[in-house]
Structure 1
Amino acid sequence: METTLEPVRFDTKIAVLLRDDLQPWQRLNTTAFLVSGIGRAAPEVIGEPYADADGTAYLPMFRQPVLVFEGSAAALAASHRRAVDRGVALSVFTADLFGTGHDRDNRAAVRAVPRDRLDLVGIAVYGPRNAVDRIVKGARMHP
């Protein structure tokens, strides 16, 4: 078992920004989908597998916290632009995806809309801490 007295500080940050008018089930669903891409794009963000005292194995999870924010549609669009401009790893979830049933249709729904016209309900970003802070600037922590 690992023990350390020093606080762990990460040079990177994972942040999810959700539109502030979503229903609770939409917030949860959107967050789950958004963060799923980060582990694939940045495998270094995944920690070691877990096990309990009985030796039951569990899947590994992110090695660092995921911060969840909320903001208006305008704040979400601005954060999206900043993430694209900075070239930070980014996942998107649009309102259209609430009506699709699988990955193929999700990708087709996003592909059908120009970037500046996406009806964004959430984004997730992963990158250097300072860059992510600038991207979500103006958003507030999710209650």
Structure 2
Amino acid sequence: MSLDVKNSKCVIVVNDDLPVGLTVNAASVVSLTLGRSVPELIGQDVKDADGAVHLGITLIPVPILKAPAEKVAEIHAAATEDPEVVVVGFSDLAQSCRTYDEYIERLGASESAALAYSSVGLFGPRKQLNKWTGSLALLR
């Protein structure tokens, strides 16, 4: 896959039924994994006028959008079918686990169709992501 950041889009969609704390958690977990999965999203470190180094931040905006749980699942399902899109799903199951070992164990015993999603992060062609997320409201 060719990663053209300037002609791509990155969005995070969260389940709008989540309380504030879980919403923030769902968005932050997905953003960390997107940053690891698409390192081209992150710019170089920058020095300020005093010479202090500030770690690179995202080169493009990353809007956080909200949608009902069914829409988040629909977007996740559609996006996973598109080989040009990087998809990071954060399931309710994952959000309920206290350790990564617990997550591994519980996910291994769960069928994909049974998973509900707290959030989904997407990176890919702008046109395709707009098709799936263009009508969604910003999280406020």
1:54 shift after superposition: 1.3
Deviates more, 1:97-106 or 1:35-44: 97-106
Task: Name the residue aligned to 2:80.
Answer: 84
User: For 2:11 and 2:109, how far apart are their aligned partners in 1?
Assistant: 26
Alignment of 1:2-17 (within 5 A): 10-17=6-13
1:138 shift after superposition: 4.4
Structure 2 SS opposite 1:116: helix
User: For 1:106 and 1:59, how far apart are their aligned partners in 2?
Assistant: 30
User: For 2:118 and 2:74, how far apart are their aligned partners in 1?
Assistant: 13
Deviates more, 1:45-54 or 1:72-81: 45-54
Select the residue among 119, 134, 140 that pairs with 2:137. Answer: 140
User: For 1:45 and 1:51, how far apart are their aligned partners in 2?
Assistant: 19
1:39 aligns with 2:35: yes
Read off the aligned partner of 2:54 and give its amino acid letter: Y
Conserved? CA contact 2:93–2:115, under 8 Å: no
Unaligned runs of 5+ in 2: none
Select the residue among 55, 59, 68 that pairs with 2:55. Answer: 59
User: When the two structures are superposed, what TM-score results if normalisation uses the length of structure 1?
Assistant: 0.83
User: When the two structures are superposed, what TM-score results if normalisation uses the length of structure 2?
Assistant: 0.85
Relative to structure 1, the CA distance from residue 51 to residue 110 in structure 2 (aligned partners, 3 Å threshold; closer, same or farther) is farther
Unaligned runs of 5+ in 1: 1-8
Deviates more, 1:14-23 or 1:33-42: 33-42
CA RMSD of aligned residues (A): 1.9
Task: Name the residue aligned to 2:15.
Answer: 19
Conserved? CA contact 1:94–1:110, under 8 Å: no
Cα deviation digits, residues 56-79 of structure 1 (max 9, x gap): 112211111101111111111110
Conserved? CA contact 1:75–1:139, under 8 Å: no
1:141 shift after superposition: 1.9
Structure 1 SS opposite 2:13: strand
Read off the aligned partner of 1:31 and give its amino acid letter: A
Aligned pairs, number: 135
Select the residue among 95, 98, 101 that pairs with 1:98. Answer: 95
Percent pairwise identity? 21
Alignment of 1:120-131 (within 5 A): 120-131=117-128
Structure 1 SS opposite 2:57: coil
Read off the aligned partner of 1:54 and give its amino acid letter: D
